[in-house]
Amino acid sequence: MKSKSSVCSDCPKKRCFKGDLSNPPPFCPSVHYSQAKETLQTTENQRMAQDVARTWKEYGKLTRVEETIEYARLQGHRKIGLAFCVGLSEEARLFSQR
């Protein structure tokens, strides 16, 4: 079995995105790094996490660009710039050939 590292992507619950820092898994950065827990508890970061959680309601229904636009809207941004990665175009081409 693969050992867990302090990586948020390994977390099955991801409660911190909703501002809930209670009962984190043993590998959570908020357990190992006190600065991470303090940072997650700031008002600005809790608001950001709550906006991310709101965009998850549409997960799988929106494209990544639409998710980014929705998040920016929730954050109050009126203009955003998006960069394009040529590597993603190759992934998209390969995916569409399946």
Residue 51: what pLDDT?
83
Q: What is the pLDDT of residues 10-66, one digit of tens each?
A: 788 777 776 677 888 888 877 777 777 788 788 888 888 788 878 877 777 888 888
Q: How confident is the model at residue 76 (pLDDT cuts 50, 70, 90)?
A: very high
Tokens 């109050």 locate to 76
Distances, alpha carbon 91 to alpha carbons 45, 80, 82, 96, in Å:
32, 24, 18, 9
